[in-house]
Amino acid sequence: MNARFTTYVNGSPVKITLRPHEPLEHCSGGPDEEGYYYSRTTYAFDGEYVTAYNATESSDCDGRRSSYQERSCPVGLLKSHRYEDTVWIKGQGAVVKQVVMLPDWRSGESGQRDYFAEAAGY
């Protein structure tokens, strides 16, 4: 059995299919006007749960920062969260562009580091 779900990548919905024990990784980022930003998300499916691992690394005028987050969702709840993707149209207000069914993610481990603050003793 495969796991099928929708997630957002770069502001657009993307449908993903995972086979058990075959992870999928998406990376993005690069230099920006103040330093750099890098993000890596790995999706894994063990036959019962889909787990998303996200890690970020960035640097700007305030120094280097990193963070990580783990989320999981039982395969039966991969399409249980209704999200109305809207656009703003002048004179009409918010208009539903599409309805997307998203996973009901459960938060797991997470953390962050601010290397400049650590060096300053905060």
| pLDDT tens digits for range 3-41 | 999 999 988 899 999 999 999 999 999 999 889 999 999
User: CA 34 to CA 71: how far, in whole Å?
Assistant: 30
Got the DSSP string for 65-87? EEEEEEEEEEGGGTT-EEEEEEE
Confidence class for position 49, pLDDT limits 50, 70, 90: very high
| Cα-based torsion angle of the residue sequence 4, 6, 7, 13 in order, rounded to the nearest 10 degrees | 140
* pLDDT band at residue 98 using 50, 70 and 90 as cut-offs: confident
d(CA 29, CA 113): 19
Nearest to 33 by CA among 11, 60, 52, 51: 60
- Whole-prediction pTM: 0.84
